[in-house]
């Protein structure tokens, strides 16, 4: 498989001013992140809330500017030239967690799906109308003629997310960036939406960046995974390998949090969230050290990703497993 997208040393820091104080703090939203995606592959970016998943998606689409780093699409660096921005925005579509982030509630479904085709001047009017019908059928929203005339609020949450998927498909993208696409849906319809995405991904050989905090859906949909912690990839590799033999203590903690459906589990998850507040202390060295049960002196120096298996990398000095 050839690589379709390469991300190299991407960095995005934010400077935050504390409320009621003149103190400034740095949030390393994306901190030297590199990875690549193959053609037709589903690559998962997983991590807790605040780990920098959405920032990476926005950086790829150039809706925010990186401090440093490169984005290379089909062997060409995407800089800020108009033709390059157009290229990435045509070929790379985003599905947001909340459908209302990408659809205008005042527009009818037909116009919502027509919009990207019009913006990018695709085909003539007749061809564009035909494409709307096609994609609505692809996402299994029927009867199509009726659906097209509706407004988003007249549909269910699951149907709305299918509209977002249809809109993303309209331009026949090579990559879809799906940012927690099912996390706002009822559990009962989550599987259906995932199944539909997988079916279309296979049918059209679309590469996906699937962003999630949920390792169970990641395993169902993805082939390779990168685990993010406070803006850094701490472990990456083939998804089955990473989830069955995690090498980084943070990946282990995430897996433990979902594999023990008992009251302790809830407790653990809560502990993880509370500890997010420790970010400041973790600016030096390994940023997981204040939460890590295996911490050693060496952890004061930031560890790099090292090979731990076939295509499997972990950023940790301690050899576990």
Ligand X SMILES: Nc1ncnc2c1ncn2[C@@H]1O[C@H](COP(=O)(O)OP(=O)(O)O)[C@@H](O)[C@H]1O
Q: Which parts of this chain interact with Mg ion (CB under 5 A)?
A: 53-54
The single residue listed with the structure tokens 């539909």 is 196
Question: Which of Mg ion, ligand X, none binds 161 (CB below 5-8 Å, type-dependent)?
Answer: none
CB of 23 to ligand X, least distance (A): 15
Shorter beta-carbon distance to Mg ion: residue 28 or 247: 28
CA distance 302 to 12: 18
Question: Which of ligand X, Mg ion, none binds 55 (CB below 5-8 Å, type-dependent)?
Answer: ligand X
Question: Which of Mg ion, ligand X, none binds 207 (CB below 5-8 Å, type-dependent)?
Answer: none
Shorter beta-carbon distance to ligand X: residue 112 or 164: 164
Nearest residue by C-beta to Mg ion?
54
Residues that bind ligand X (CB under 6 A): 14, 16, 27, 29, 47, 49-55
CB of 16 to ligand X, least distance (A): 6
* Residue whose C-alpha is closest to residue 47's, from 68, 61, 33: 33
CA distance 235 to 267: 24
Shorter beta-carbon distance to ligand X: residue 15 or 187: 15
CA distance 313 to 302: 15
Contacts of 125 (CB under 8 A, 6+ apart): none
CB of 288 to ligand X, least distance (A): 15
CB of 274 to ligand X, least distance (A): 15
* Residue whose C-alpha is closest to residue 248's, from 296, 298, 294: 294
Shorter beta-carbon distance to Mg ion: residue 96 or 110: 96
Shorter beta-carbon distance to ligand X: residue 52 or 246: 52
Dihedral pair phi/psi, residue 202, rounded to 5°:
-70, -45
Question: Which of ligand X, Mg ion, none binds 14 (CB below 5-8 Å, type-dependent)?
Answer: ligand X
**Concatenated DSSP letters of 180-234:** STTTTS-HHHHHHHHHHHHHHHHHHT-EEEEEES-HHHHHHH-SEEEEEETTEEE
């Amino acid at each position: 498989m050839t690589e379709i997208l390469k991300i190299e040393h991407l960095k995005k820091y934010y400077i935050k001013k504390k409320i009621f104080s003149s103190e400034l703090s740095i949030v390393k939203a994306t901190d030297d992140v590199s990875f690549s995606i193959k053609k037709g592959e589903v690559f998962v970016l997983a991590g807790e809330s605040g780990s920098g998943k959405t920032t990476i998606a926005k950086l790829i689409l150039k809706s925010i500017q990186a401090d440093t780093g490169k984005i290379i699409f089909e062997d060409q660096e995407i800089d800020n030239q108009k033709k390059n921005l157009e290229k990435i925005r045509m070929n790379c579509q985003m599905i947001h967690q909340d459908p209302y982030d990408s659809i205008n509630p005042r527009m009818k479904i037909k116009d919502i799906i027509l919009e990207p085709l019009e913006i990018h001047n695709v085909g003539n009017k007749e061809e564009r109308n035909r494409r709307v019908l096609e994609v609505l059928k692809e996402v299994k929203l029927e009867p199509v003629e009726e659906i097209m005339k509706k407004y988003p609020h007249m549909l269910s949450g699951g149907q709305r997310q299918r509209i977002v998927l249809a809109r993303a498909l309209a331009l026949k993208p090579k990559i879809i960036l799906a940012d927690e696409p099912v996390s706002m849906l009822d559990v009962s319809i989550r599987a259906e939406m995932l199944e539909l995405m997988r079916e279309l991904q296979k049918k059209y050989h679309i590469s996906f960046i699937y962003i999630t905090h949920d390792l169970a859906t990641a395993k169902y949909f993805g082939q390779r995974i990168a685990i993010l912690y406070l803006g850094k990839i701490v472990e990456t590799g083939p998804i089955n390998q990473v989830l069955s033999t995690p090498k980084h203590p943070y990946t282990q903690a995430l897996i433990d949090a979902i594999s023990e459906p008992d009251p302790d589990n809830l407790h653990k998850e809560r502990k993880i969230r509370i500890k997010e507040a420790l970010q400041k202390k973790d600016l030096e060295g390994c940023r997981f050290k204040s939460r890590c049960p295996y911490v050693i002196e060496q952890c004061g120096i930031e560890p790099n990703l090292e090979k731990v298996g076939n295509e499997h990398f972990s950023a940790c000095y301690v050899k576990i497993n």
